[in-house]
Amino acid sequence: MTQKDIAFVFPGQGSQKVGMLAAAAAAYPIIGDTFAEASTVLGYDLWDLVQNGEQEQLNLTETTQPVLLTSSVALYRAWLAAGGAVPALMAGHSLGEFSALVCAGALEFSVAVKLVQQRGSFMQTAVPVGEGAMAAIIGLEDDAINAACAAAAAESGEVVAAVNFNSPGQVVIAGKSAAVEAAITLCKAAGAKRALPLPVSAPFHTELMRPAGEKLAEAMAAIEFSAPQVPVVHNVHAAMESDPAAIPELLVRQIYSPVQWTGCVQAMTAAGITRVVECGPGKVLSGLNRRIDKSLSSFNIEEPEALQNTVTELASA
């Protein structure tokens, strides 16, 4: 049964942590089954890496991407197994858009696991480790951040730009490390409350990622997408796309274009969404969504008790 006022959102990189989903896997066998399916595709034990690996390894993007995709899909399968309703809309933040497309039936899980591993590798090799950086700028208007990035880019001669419009007052910048540092300094001088470096290993969603986008396009050339069974709001233009032939281009553009998360959430509320379930580790998107629209009710289902309580609460409302 679909509930018209519910959306599911799927997190992107930065939400990964060693030991995540241990309790959920103990309660829902389908989570272990999903990780086993991914492990077969990848050729290594993904669950063992998540439970017993090093955080530094989890943070490498070619590892992070299959880890988070698998975590989100596993939780969505557990949600359905527990009797949870099918949402009316889905969206994912950056990498999370692939999780949304899998859960919406537009892309096979096994295909997506391999694809995001390749995507991570393409993105990592586009800029060597240590040469790129990302940082969240808190408490400064978008225009001021764009101006600081432009000034830092002009001064350094290197790329830096606003790349994730996460919520009013929170924008992520990315680019070459020195240019990002210069932009941080300018943002603070302009009145930013904080600037937080992010635990990622490449400057995502900048022009530096265009070569990765070209390689992703080649990797997707032989992949067949299906029409989403649940509409997905895409990062690039904060709109839905029902034509499966148009989806690959949106995923390619997403690699080197800003994530319009504020627009995505506004598009969902305009479509009648009042309750949003974050399907994946952490609560990053729930916090952002509240800043975008305080009327939204947010739910997290990473822990088994929270999952079951959310199934019950949303069914009875």
Positions annotated as catalytic residues are 94, 205
| Strands annotated E in 203-287 | 232-233, 275-278
For 43-80, what is the HEC assignment? CCCHHHHHHHCCHHHHCCHHHHHHHHHHHHHHHHHHHH
Q: Which residue has the tokens 């490498």?
A: 60
Residues 222-228: contacts with CB under 8 Å, at least 24 apart: 223/107, 223/111, 223/115, 223/248, 225/101, 225/106, 225/107, 226/105, 226/106, 226/107, 227/106, 228/90, 228/101, 228/104, 228/105, 228/106
Q: Is 276 helix (H, G, I), strand (E, B) or coil?
A: strand
In the structure encoding, which two tokens stand for residue 2, read together? 């679909």
Q: How many residues are listed for the chain in this entry?
A: 317
Paired sense of beta strands 275-278 and 297-300, if any: parallel
Q: Report the alpha-carbon distance of residue 10 to residue 69 in Å, rounded.
A: 9
- For the four alpha carbons of 19, 194, 254 and 159, in that order, the dihedral sign comes to negative
Q: Comparing C-alpha atoms, which of 22, 139, 114 is closest to residue 71? A: 22
**Residue 119 backbone phi and psi in degrees, to 5:** -55, -45
Distances (CA, A) of 115 to 38, 62, 112, 215, 235: 12, 10, 5, 11, 18
In the structure encoding, which two tokens stand for residue 17, read together? 């942590």
